[in-house]
Chains A and B, each alone.
Chain A
Amino acid sequence: MAAVDDGSIADDARLLRRIRPDQIVDDENSGTRRPSSAAFKDAELSVDSEPILNDNGFDWRFSLQGHAGYSLAQFTAGHARAKMLPVIHTPLQNNPAHSEVHGKKTQGVANHLVAGTSWVHLELKSP
């Protein structure tokens, strides 16, 4: 599998990322609870491509299976590509929708991802 962005994941595809409770911060400036930029710092950031999940008969709940207490955030592939980050489909044996957002995540880039993120599921209970 070539580690290049071949565009197979469309710009409007939602990319789903699990967020641990201790990676959610209170933002008093916006009055919200949101993911910390620290949750997006991995240079090979793992996500699930929602259209591929759908193609395989799953939905966002698949991404949270076996991860009690986690929340689920999403941003679009196009939002990542706006910062020149390749979005690459890297399926795993147990996860056909697994993908990665490559590239160094400086604080500026990580905060860009945060700015384009919204909750798919926000877990309010502690695990």
Chain B
Amino acid sequence: MARANAQRVEDLFYEPTGSSASASPKAANYPNFVSAFNAPPERKWQIEVQSRLLKYAKMQNGWDSYRAPPVGWDTGMFALYILNDVMRTRTPIPQVVPSAAGGVQLEWHQKGIDLELHIAGPYQCELWFRDHQQPNDPPVSLELTDNFSALLRPIELLTTR
């Protein structure tokens, strides 16, 4: 998949200098490169996340063999809203975990970063973030309602590191 993407990006930011049959090297086109780099997410994350959320919304009460309620479909919708705002082209797809409290948790554990966003319901979220490359910094633990600016830095690190 990564190899096919690299091929596509190369086609986008190189211009042919002659006819299509020419063996001449192509000239770099920076605006096209920038445009491709900043292109909206391919939405692969949407397909994967949605299928998980749909599965969890259909679970019955006590799905975890204890007493967990199913994930509400409005909770699932809210999770998609947040991801739609923060996901970029190269942001890894989160793991999507149903919560014993009845919500859903989006989480990433890679590149030395732990990022968790627990969504109990619309506007009822908790953020957990730890950067293993900054061992002296305590983990960030925040309650979030409608402002998700606290996600920007962790997502940027996940995307660019």
How far is A27 from B116 in the complex, measured between Cα atoms in Å?
A: 12
The answer to whether A36 and B97 touch across the interface, beta carbons within 8 angstroms, is yes
Instruction: Please choose the segment from A1-9, A52-60, A104-112 that sits at the chain B interface, where 4 or more of its residues have CB less than 8 A away.
Output: A104-112
Which residue among B63, B101, B107 has the maximum number of chain A CB atoms within 10 Å of its CB?
B101
Residue of B nearest to A108 (CB): B141
How far is A105 from B128 in the complex, measured between Cα atoms in Å?
A: 12
Which secondary structure characterizes the binding site on chain A? mixed
Inter-chain contact count A-B, CB under 8 Å? Answer: 92
How far is A67 from B62 in the complex, measured between Cα atoms in Å?
A: 12
Q: Does B139 contact A (CB under 8 A)?
A: yes
The proximity string for B residues 14-56 relative to A, scoring 1 for CB distances below 8 Å and 0 otherwise, is 0000000000000000000000000000000000000010001
The answer to whether A41 and B95 touch across the interface, beta carbons within 8 angstroms, is no
CB distance from B51 to the nearest CB of A (A): 12
Residue of B nearest to A27 (CB): B109
CB distance from A99 to the nearest CB of B (A): 12
How far is A6 from B63 in the complex, measured between Cα atoms in Å?
A: 30
How far is A75 from B46 in the complex, measured between Cα atoms in Å?
A: 35
The number of chain B residues with a CB under 8 A from chain A is 32
Residue of B nearest to A63 (CB): B65
Q: Does A23 contact B (CB under 8 A)?
A: yes
CB distance from B7 to the nearest CB of A (A): 26
The answer to whether B65 and A42 touch across the interface, beta carbons within 8 angstroms, is no
- B66 is contacted by which of A18, A26, A36, A37 (Cβ under 8 Å)? A18
How far is A36 from B66 in the complex, measured between Cα atoms in Å?
A: 16
- Segment 82-114 of B: residues with Cβ below 8 Å from A: 95, 97-101, 103-105, 107, 109-114
The answer to whether A29 and B65 touch across the interface, beta carbons within 8 angstroms, is no
- Segment 46-70 of A: residues with Cβ below 8 Å from B: 46, 67, 70
The answer to whether B118 and A107 touch across the interface, beta carbons within 8 angstroms, is yes
How far is A94 from B103 in the complex, measured between Cα atoms in Å?
A: 28
The answer to whether B66 and A42 touch across the interface, beta carbons within 8 angstroms, is yes
How far is A26 from B95 in the complex, measured between Cα atoms in Å?
A: 8
Given contacts A28-B109, A29-B110, A36-B97, contact A111 B65 (CB under 8 A): no
Given contacts A25-B107, A25-B109, A28-B109, contact A67 B98 (CB under 8 A): no
B positions within 8 Å CB-CB of A = 52, 56, 63-68, 95, 97-101, 103-105, 107, 109-114, 116, 118, 126-128, 132, 139, 141
Complex A-B, nearest 7 residue pairs according to Cβ-Cβ distance, in ascending order: A107-B128, A38-B105, A41-B101, A38-B99, A42-B100, A28-B110, A27-B109
